[in-house]
Amino acid sequence: MPGRMPRFRGPEIHHLLDFSSLAGTPCSTLARILWSSAVTLPVQVFVFRLFVLLADGKAPDETVRLAWRGLLPSLKKLWQVYPAAQFVAYRYLPPALWLPFFQVFGFVMGTYLNVLTRRGTARPAAARK
């Protein structure tokens, strides 16, 4: 239809998070944590690593290879901390504070993962010299 603007949606990760909202079930906190750890978190980490490497000026084929190579170490670090942060937020914080809590947590973990990513890409370059 001419003149009709397409409807743009937010990041696809929001749709993955929508599936995790199992409100009304007795184990909704546990279900959210499991869904997020098994599905949402790997997608977020892979996309984060992909764009960090692209911003670093890597070639596209090298970027995908390095993003896959560093995915599991990044996930291991997040799986150690993220479920506990989610539990604290879902159990003890009102929903109005979830956004600032996870933004601060995401900033800290994003900075940490960025340092890990840069160290991981610097080692192979140093080994080639």
> For residue 58, is it within any domain?
yes
Number of domains present in the structure of the chain: 1
Cβ atoms 37, 83 nearer than 8 A: yes
Structure confidence at residue 48 as a pLDDT band (50, 70, 90): confident
Residue 26 lies in a domain: no
Q: Check residues 29 and 64 and name the one with the higher pLDDT.
A: 64
Q: What is the mean pLDDT of residues 80-88?
A: 88
In this predicted structure, the answer to whether residue 74 has a pLDDT above a threshold of 60 is: yes
Range of the domain at 122: 41-128
CA distance 38 to 31: 10
Is pLDDT above 50 for 7? no
What's the one-letter identity of residue 69?
A: R
Pick from 45-49, 57-61, 80-84 the range whose average pLDDT is largest.
80-84
Q: Is residue 13 part of a domain?
A: no
**Position 12 in a domain:** no
Instruction: Tell me if 62 is assigned to some domain.
Output: yes
Q: Is the pLDDT of residue 103 over 50?
A: yes
Backbone angles phi, psi at 90, to 5 degrees: -70, -30
How many angstroms separate the CA atoms of 67 and 42, rounded? 11
Ranges 19-28, 35-44, 62-71, 86-95: which has the least confidence:
19-28
pTM score over 0.75: no
Q: Looking at residue 54, what is its pLDDT?
A: 83
Would you say residue 52 lies in a domain?
yes
Q: Is residue 3 part of a domain?
A: no
Range 86-101 average pLDDT = 88
- Give a yes or no: residue 4 inside a domain: no
The per-residue pLDDT for 13 is: 53
